[in-house]
């Protein structure tokens, strides 16, 4: 069991020993450290934090611990209850709050949970800010409010509806065309809050939604990462219902993948490619994704006369480069759409609205739309880390081995070959080394991944 402290928040498995897992004591410690950090940002009388959670079994317990810790620090809490990560991000500035906390472990299995921490803009903290909170947590230098100065909890469960209102207000969302298309869509909500938010959005867009695993009880019916190998039920339901497409999200609804009318995966890498194609066709500009994302975004961006750049992996890194380069859309190849028109955060609701607008305007089948994009194939593999494994040493040796190739080392090691690439990096969210490859065929991508894994195992003697 594991506790991971990183740029992506405080993430761990429920139960076990303090300091080794995400126990109640750890939840209180890190919530307290966040409260101290928050007060250091502004000297004021009243502090407010927005808190929401996905539908994980442990969510209510962790949320109550976190909220009441903040109350004990004299911080007022706006409790969104069952929510989504992008909904909390939208709510923070709308509530003029000082920050936000989302209780979710994103795509991790049900035994995991996490505290994702936001600033006053509703954006994830950067590495320096995260390091400061960890420093406060380890120092134990925290003080709490006296009895007359305790914070209060205010419930506001309207924010998913408010979030949908804001999505539908975006100028590029063509609600009229989507309604006219009379789409039939199967939604896999992985029994979390996507099962609430996505059908409500589709209903507002005039789409007929067929619900699959949309009961927000935290009992994930399959591995919650929205990858092809986990989506057999969705594929079968799309074909059975003669639907125009399938939609699947992860538990906190910041990742999005589509399936075509034949039950074939559109490709989570191509979620961003399609949405960017639509946005760039209306408002030309620059794009950003991370180093582990497909080259197809670069191709589409250049087709529209824009410039593409790649950041280190991690949403905060993508956002930082998007701001620097004035990118009008960006995100991550894992199905994360970041569209600053609404906010600087991955948002599946935004992605659904843009994608359906594109599909409706093109008057194509989903499979036909996919065929219009450059065809790259990606392999995503991993190696489990064992105690004492020298990850930095392994990556250094791989860098040395491929020193004559085009290397990028801002985030692990990325090796660019003439018609393929491989990216090796230590995960921010799991105790693994991720090995992403891309090539002109699936066989070549998989073969490259297997070759790299064999080399790593030789270097690490495993």
Residue ranges and CATH numbers for the domains of the chain are 3-157 (3.40.120.10), 162-370 (3.40.120.10), 377-460 (3.30.310.50)
The overall average pLDDT reported for the chain is 95
Q: What's the Rg (C-alpha) of the chain?
A: 22
Residue 388 has what pLDDT? 75
Given the structure tokens 């209180």, which residue do they identify?
28
Q: What are phi and psi of 259, to 5 degrees?
A: -130, 140
Minimum mean pLDDT range among 21-30, 196-205, 223-232, 386-395: 386-395
- In three-state form (DSSP H/G/I as H, E/B as E, the rest C), the secondary structure along the chain is CCEEEECCEEEEEECCCECCEECHHHHHHHHHHHHHHHHHHCCCCCEEEEEEECCCCCHHHHHHHHHHHHHHCCEEEEEEEECCHHHHHHHHHHCCCCEEEEECCCCCCCCEEEEEEECCCCCECCHHHHHHHHHHHHHCCCCCCCHHHCCCEEECCCHHHHHHHHHHHCCCCCHHHHHHHCCEEEEECCCCCHHHHHHHHHHHCCCEEEEECCCCCCCCCCCCCCCHHHCHHHHHHHHHCCCCEEEEECCCCCCEEEECCCCCECCHHHHHHHHHHHHHHHCCCEEEEECCCCCHHHHHHHHCCCCEEEECCCHHHHHHHHHHCCEEEEEECCCEEECCCCCCCECHHHHHHHHHHHHHHHCCCHHHHHCCCCCCEEEEEEEECCCCCCHHHHHHHHHHHCCCCEEECCCCEEEECCCCEEEEEECCCCCEEEEEEEECCHHHHHHHHHHHHHHHHHHHCC
Spot the catalytic one: 8, 32, 58, 106: 106
Report residue 341 as tokens. 């028109």
The candidate with the shortest Cα–Cα distance to 457, out of 400, 394, 396, 409, is 394
Q: Which tens digit of pLDDT belongs to each residue from 108-138?
A: 999 999 999 999 999 999 989 999 999 999 9
Overall average pLDDT of the 142-153 stretch:
97
Overall average pLDDT of the 55-76 stretch:
98
Note the pTM of the prediction, 2 decimals. Answer: 0.93
Overall average pLDDT of the 163-191 stretch:
98
Q: Confidence band (pLDDT; 50, 70, 90) for 389? A: confident
Strand partners, 426: 433
Is residue 420 part of the annotated active site? The answer reads: no
Cα separation, 397 vs 393, in Å, equals 6
At what angle are helices 59-72 and 24-41 packed, to 10 degrees? 40
Look at residue 196 and tell me whether its pLDDT is greater than 80: yes
Percent of the chain with pLDDT over 70: 99
How far does CA 80 lie from the centroid of its chain?
19
Residue 391 has what pLDDT? 86
Residue 147 has what pLDDT? 98
Pair type for strands 153-155 and 75-82: parallel
Q: Is 205 left (phi over 0), alpha (psi -120 to 50) or beta?
A: alpha
Residue 42 has what pLDDT? 87
Q: What are phi and psi of 155, to 5 degrees?
A: -85, 140
Pair type for strands 256-259 and 245-249: antiparallel
Residue 77 has what pLDDT? 98
Report residue 189 as tokens. 């909500």
Strand partners, 113: 12
Residue 427 has what pLDDT? 82
* Alpha-carbon distances of 401 from 25, 224, 312, 427, 441, rounded to whole Å: 44, 36, 22, 22, 25
Overall average pLDDT of the 284-305 stretch:
96
CB 104 within 8 A of CB 62: no
* Alpha-carbon distances of 318 from 123, 225, 310, 341, rounded to whole Å: 12, 20, 8, 16
Minimum mean pLDDT range among 76-80, 83-87, 377-381: 377-381
Cα separation, 301 vs 418, in Å, equals 20
Q: Which tens digit of pLDDT belongs to each residue from 345-375?
A: 999 999 999 999 999 999 999 999 999 999 9
How far does CA 63 lie from the centroid of its chain?
20
């Amino acid at each position: 069991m594991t506790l991971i402290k990183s740029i992506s928040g405080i993430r761990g498995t429920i139960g076990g020993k303090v300091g080794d897992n995400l126990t109640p004591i750890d939840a209180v410690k890190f919530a307290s450290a966040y409260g101290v950090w928050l007060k250091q940002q502004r000297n004021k009388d009243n502090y407010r934090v927005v808190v929401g959670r996905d539908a994980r079994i442990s969510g209510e317990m962790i949320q109550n611990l976190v909220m009441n810790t903040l109350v004990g620090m004299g911080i007022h809490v706006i409790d969104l209850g069952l929510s989504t990560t992008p909904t909390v991000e939208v709510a923070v500035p709308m509530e003029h709050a000082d920050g936000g906390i989302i209780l979710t472990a994103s795509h991790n299995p049900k035994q995991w949970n996490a505290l994702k921490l936001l600033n006053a803009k509703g954006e994830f903290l950067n590495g320096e800010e995260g390091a400061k909170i960890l420093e406060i947590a380890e120092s134990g230098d925290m003080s709490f409010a006296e009895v007359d100065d305790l914070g209060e909890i205010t419930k506001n469960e309207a924010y998913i509806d408010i979030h949908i209102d804001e999505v539908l207000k975006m100028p590029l969302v063509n609600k009229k065309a989507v309604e006219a298309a009379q789409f039939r869509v199967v939604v896999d909500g992985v029994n979390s809050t996507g099962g609430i938010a996505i059908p409500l959005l589709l209903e507002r867009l005039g789409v007929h939604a067929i619900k699959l695993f949309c009961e927000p009880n935290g009992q994930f019916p399959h591995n919650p990462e929205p990858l092809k190998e986990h989506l057999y039920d969705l594929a079968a339901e799309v074909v059975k219902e003669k639907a125009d497409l399938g939609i699947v999200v992860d538990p906190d609804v910041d990742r999005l993948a589509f399936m075509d009318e034949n039950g074939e995966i559109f490709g989570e890498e191509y979620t961003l490619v399609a949405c960017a194609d639509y946005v760039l066709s209306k408002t030309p500009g620059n794009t950003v994704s991370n180093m582990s994302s497909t080259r197809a975004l670069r191709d589409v961006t250049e087709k529209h006369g824009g410039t593409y750049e790649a950041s280190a992996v991690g949403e905060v890194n993508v956002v930082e480069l998007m701001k620097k380069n004035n990118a009008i859309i960006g995100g991550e190849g894992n199905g994360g759409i970041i569209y600053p028109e609404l906010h600087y955060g991955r948002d599946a609701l935004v992605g659904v609205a843009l994608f359906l607008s594109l599909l409706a305007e093109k008057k194509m089948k989903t499979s036909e739309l996919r065929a219009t994009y450059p065809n790259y194939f990606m392999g995503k593999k991993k190696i489990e880390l064992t105690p004492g494994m020298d990850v930095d040493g392994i990556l250094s040796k791989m860098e040395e081995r491929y020193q004559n190739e085009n290397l990028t080392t801002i985030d692990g090691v990325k090796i660019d070959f003439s018609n393929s690439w491989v990216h090796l990096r230590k995960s921010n969210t799991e105790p693994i080394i991720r090995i992403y490859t891309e090539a002109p065929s699936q066989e070549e991508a998989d073969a490259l991944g297997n070759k790299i894994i064999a080399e790593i195992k030789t270097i690490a003697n495993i």
